Structure 1
Amino acid sequence: MTSLQGKTAIVTGASSGIGKAIAVRLAEEGANVILAARSMDKLAELEEKINGAGGGEAIAVPTDMALRESVEAMAGKAKAAYGAVDLLVNNAGQMLSGTVRSGKTDEWENMIDVNIKGVLYGIHAVLPHMIGRGTGHIINIDSVSGHEVTKTSTVYSATKFAVRAISMGLEKELARTGVRVTNISPGMVDTPLMGARSVDRKILDPENIAQAIVYAATQPPHVNVNEITVRPV
C-alpha cells in the first residue's frame, strides 16, 4: 500500500459531514490537508483540531466552489504552501429540491453550480499541475443518486449522474498520464444534508466514506480504483 505521509490533499466541503471526516482521516494518515468550504468559522475549528492532533497539517481556505476564481485561488494557496497537490477530493455538494414540478429554479441552479461546475472547477485548478508531474489522484464524491432516480430526486440525481459521467470520461482521458480518477458513491449517510428524515435501519457514518477514500488513495501507483459504491446494509 502507498503511504499518504507528507502528501498534499485538497478536500472541498470540508467544514462538516463527509468532508470533515475525510479531512481528519487523511491528516491521521499523515497528509497535509487544505480545508476548503464557505464557512470559515467551522473550517477554523477543524484546522485547530487537526493541527493539534499531531498528524498532517491543515490549512483552512474559505472557498466558494461555484466561483472559478475562488477555486483557483484556493488551489494556488495549496501549491504555494506545499509545492504540489497530490490528491483532490471533490466533496462539496448541495442537495436541495429535486423535483422538476417544484419549479424552484434558483435551487436547481445552486445544485448545478456546486455539484457540477464546482467539480469541474476543482479538477481544472489542479489537473495541468498533476499531468505535468505525472502523478496525482482526483476523487469525486458522487452518490447512489448518480445511479438511480426517485420521484423526488430528478434534478439532484441529474447533477450526480453528471459527476459520475465526468469521472468515467476523465479516467479515460487520463489513461497513461499517471493521474488516477476515482468515483465514490455513498448511500444514505448521517450528515446535515440528510436532514431529519426518518429511517428504519443503521445508516452510514461519514467515517465509512473516509475509509473508502483512504483505500483508493493508498493503492500502488499503477492501480486505479475507478468506482466504489458504499451502501448501508
Structure 2
Amino acid sequence: MVKLDGKVAIVTGGSRGIGAAIAKELAANGAKVVINYNSSSEAAEQVVSEIEAAGGQAFASQADVSDSKHARVLVEDAINKYGQLDILVNNAGITRDRTFRKLSEEDWKKVIDVNLNSIFNMTSAALAHIQASETGRIINISSIIGQAGGFGQTNYSAAKAGMIGFTKSLALELARTGVTVNAICPGFIETEMVTAIPEEIREQIVAKIPVRRFGKPEEIARGVIYLCQDGAYITGQELNINGGMYM
C-alpha cells in the first residue's frame, strides 16, 4: 500500500467528529494536514496536538468555508505552509432540522451555504493546486440522508444530494487529468450529533441498521484513506459506509 508521505491535505470541519478522525488518519499515513475550523479553535488545536504527539504534521486554520474569500485564504495558508496541495476533503457541515412547514428561509440558506456552497468555494480555490499533484484527490463527505432522505431534513438532504451530483459532474470533467472526485456517504455514525439523540430513538435507529450498530468516525476515515491510496481508478462514485442501512 502506498503511504501518503509528502502529500498535503485540507480537511474542512476537521476539529471534531468525522473530520477529526479523517485528519488523524491522514496524518497517521504520512500526510501533512491542514485542519480547518470555523469556531472550535480549542478542539482544532487538540487535534493538532494529538497528531504531533503521534509524530505527524498538522496545523489549524480558521475559516468559514461558506464564504468564498475565507476559502481562498484557507488554501493560501496551506500553500504558504507546505508549498502544495494534493488532497481536499470537503467535510464541513451543519444541521438545522425542522419539518418543512417550520423551516425558515434562514435555516434553509444556512445549511445550503455551509454544506453545499462550501464545496464549490473550496474546490474552486484549491483545484489548480490539486491538478498540479500527480495524485490529486477530492473527497466530499455526503450522507445517507442525501440518498434516502430524512424526516425534517429537507435542507440537509438537498445539500447532501447536491454534493453527490457535484461529485459526479466534476469527476467527468477531471477524469483525464488524473484527479479523482468521489463522495463518501456515511450512515449513522457515533458523533456528538448522534450521541445527543435520546436513548429510545437511538435504539429504534439501530434496529433499522442490518449490522445492528452505529458506525465509528474511524471507519469513515479509513474510507478516505482507501480512496487516497488505492483510488486511482475510482472516480465519480458514492462510497456507502452505512452498515447496510441503504443499498
TM-score (ref. length: structure 1): 0.94
Change (3 A) 1:2 1:220: farther
1:97–1:104 Cα contact (<8 Å) kept: no
Q: Cα distance, 1:172 vs. partner? A: 0.6
2:202 is matched with which residue? 199
Partner Cα separation in structure 2 for residue 116 and residue 170 of structure 1: 14
Give the secondary-structure state (helix, strand or coil) at the position aligned to 1:61: strand
Alignment match, 2:124 = 124
Q: Over the residues paired in the alignment, what is the CA RMSD in angstroms?
A: 1.6
Q: 1:198-217 alignment to 2 at 5 Å?
A: 198-200=201-203, 201=206, 202-217=213-228
Correspondence for 2:172: 172
**In the TM superposition, what is the alpha-carbon distance from 1:161 to its structure 2 partner?**
0.7
1:40 is aligned to 2:51: no
* Partner residue in 1 for 2:186: 186
One-letter amino acid matched to 1:190: E
| CA distance 1:79–1:193, change in 2 (3 Å) | same
Native 8 Å contact 1:99 1:155 kept in 2? no
Partner residue, 2:52: 51
Q: Deviations over 1:152-200 (max 9, x none)?
A: 2222111111011100111011120111111100000111233324322
Q: TM-score, normalised by structure 2?
A: 0.89
Contact 1:8 1:87 in 2 (8 A): yes
Unpaired runs of at least 5, structure 2: 207-212
Aligned residues of 2:9 and 2:89 also touching (Cα < 8 A): yes
The answer to whether the 8 A contact 2:172-2:236 is kept is no
Matching residue of 1:22: 22
- 1:39-64 CA-to-partner distances (Å, cap 9, x unmatched) read 2111111111111111x301110111
The verdict on how the C-alpha distance between 1:106 and 1:223 changes in structure 2, with shifts beyond 3 A counting, is closer
Contiguous gaps of at least 5 residues in structure 1: none
Shift of 1:232: 2.5
**Secondary structure in structure 1 of the residue aligned to 2:45:** helix
* Residues 157-166 or 144-153, more deviating: 144-153
Q: 1:12 and 1:74 mapped to 2: Cα distance?
A: 9
Structure whose residues are more often helix by fraction? 2
Distance across 1 between alignment mates of 2:74 and 2:112: 20
Q: Pairwise mapping of residues 6-155 of structure 1 onto structure 2 (< 5 A)?
A: 6-38=6-38, 39-54=40-55, 56-133=56-133, 135-155=135-155
- Please list the CA deviations of residues 81-101 of structure 1 after superposition, one character each: whole Å capped at 9, or x if unmatched: 111111000000011124321
Partners in 2 of 1:210 and 1:27 — Cα distance?
Answer: 11
CA separation in 2, counterparts of 1:26 and 1:132? Answer: 20
Partners of 1:145 and 1:52 in 2: CA distance = 36
**Aligned 8 A contact 1:2 1:220 in 2:** no
Q: Name the SS of the counterpart of 2:166 in structure 1.
A: helix
In the alignment, residue 202 of structure 2 is paired with which amino acid? V
- The equivalent of 2:210 in structure 1 is none
Q: 1:199 to 1:116 in 2, by over 3 A?
A: same
